[in-house]
Each structure stands twice: as structure tokens, then as C-alpha cells.
Structure 1
Amino acid sequence: MSRIGNKVITLPAGVTVSQKGNDVTVKGPKGELTRAIDPIIEMHVDGNEVSFTRPSDDYKAIHGTTRANVNNMVIGVTEGYKKDLKLVGVGYRAQMKGKNLVLSVGYSHPVEMTAPEGIEVAVPSNTEITVSGISKQRVGQFAAEIRAVRSPEPYKGKGIRYVNEYVRRKEGKTGK
């Protein structure tokens, strides 16, 4: 029995959920998201509650995943998602040039990145980056792409990391 899949999603005021074929559309105050769900899982909308059912116990995993994805869509159109990144290293800095994010992280050239549609990037200080949007997947993906430009290394801890990320440090070489 999928405990996550059996939970009911309660819709906040101003949020509507509709289904057309396999596509689920969630509309809210911050925008609209559409996602395809597995045709095996049935979605039921009763007033301000959304529930999901599966035909048999063979589909427990997709049952819980489908419910979690739709719940993330509901949270996204009401509150939105945000990821904060921090640049650690001497001379490492970020800045916005128009709609492009420009990173100076120890390479011979600055790295320019363009945010995908629906994603907002802010640089509150030259060592902090904030990625926000309504899609949890897109926000996390773009934040991971920024982090991948210069992942934190374990010896000095330099690189781009998430704000709450812990980088395990290693001991360097020892002399005789």
C-alpha cells in the first residue's frame, strides 16, 4: 500500500486542477503548469480535493510518484520554489548582464549562462545566486547546471555550492 499515493491533496483557494487525457494542468496565482501522468493511475477531483487510485499493488511506486508530482505542481503555483547558491573562493563572483548570468570562477574566461523560460535568477551579492520559479524540476535542474560549472572541491572547499550544502574536506599531502 502506497502511503504517499493514498494521501489526498487539498487545493488552496485560487488553485484549479484539470485533466485532459494524460495531461494534468494546475492553475494558480503564480502561473500554470502542465505535466503528463501515467495512464494507469486515475485522478479524481472532488471540489478542493484531489486523490489518486491504482488498479493493483503492482503500481505502488508510480502511484506515489504521480501524487508527489501533482502536489509539487500545486505548491509551485501557490508558493513557488527557490534554490540559493554560494560561491566560495578567492576572486569567485557572479553578476547579471541583462538576462544572462556571468560567472567568474577561476577559468581563463567568464562563463555566461542564460536562464530557461520561467526561471528567474537574482544575484543579491557577488557571491550569492538565487534561482526561483514555479517548477520544482526546472529550478533544481538550472541550479544544478550552475553548480556544475565549478563543483566544490574537497581540499580547499572552493567552488559553487548550495547554501546548506556540507562539503566534506580531505587532508592534503603531508611532508616528511
Structure 2
Amino acid sequence: MRRVNVTHLALVAALVLVVLLAGGAVAGWYFGKVEDDRLRQMKPYPPDKQQQRAQDLVAALNSRDPRKLQLLRNTSAAPDAPDNLQLDRLIQAAFPLPDCHFALDSVRDRGEQGAMDISWVSSDTRTYRYDMLITENCPGRAPLHRVLAVIAVPYMGGYWTDASLLVEQ
């Protein structure tokens, strides 16, 4: 019968434990890094979501009430704070002419646009753009085709949220 060297056995056990701990630490770091990278990435802004948002925005523009447009506002400030008043002015510039209304024709995805200054959100934030191609219908006049750009910014959970409008035509 062979005798077991307790010191040798303890040394082997300690070595196995160190290897397992090191392997666990490396695996934890790797999977944590992968998860961090996924959290920093923006989720897509799919066409069906853009279409639905555009329909909601056009209906709100037709109401001529800036508060009905679900754009990112400075909710920590008073409703008449400069940031919110600036956004209201942008929205009002996009309203249809008096006695007219908009009809949504289509949406054109323009993708990420890089950094842009949207003062009530951030002075330099990533942006995403899609265009609403609309027809302005007025009594007694030929329909007028217009383009309203919607600028979205990163929001909670890596999703895009609409923040501003740009009137192109």
C-alpha cells in the first residue's frame, strides 16, 4: 500500500484552485466586456417603428398643438423653459398652413447622422434621421409635397427617441 503525501496533495489542490479562479476571472471579464459592448450599442430603428412614429407625428402636427408631439422635452424644467420654448418654435414652424392638413406619403430612412447639437438634449449627441414625405392639402390649391426630417437621439436602454424636427420643403 502506497502512502499519500499530504503536502503534495495540498499543493496540487491549491494549483487546481488557482487555475479555476484565474479561468473564472478571465471568463467573467470577457463576458462582462461583451455585455458592456452590447449595452453601448444602439438598437436598430426599424422601418415599421419609423412609420408608426411618423403617423403619430403627422396627426399631432395636424392638431396644431406642440404638446401633442411626442418629442424629447426637458421634463426637469418648467414647460415654458427656454429649451421647451425652442422646441415648440421648431414644431410650430412645421405646422401645416391654416385650413390645410398633412397626409403622410412615406418614410425615408436616412440612418445615423453623427453628432449634432440639440441644445435641450445635449450639445453634441449622436443622431439618427428619418424623413417624413408628406403632402400638404389645402382647399382651392394644388397639393404641396414637403419633407420633414425627424431627428432621434439615444435614449434609455440603447433605443432611439425622436427629439426634433427639421423643415426641408
- Larger Rg computed on CA atoms: 2
TM-score of the aligned structures, taking structure 1 as reference length: 0.23
More helix per residue: 2
TM-score by structure 2 length? 0.24
Greater strand percent: which structure?
Answer: 1
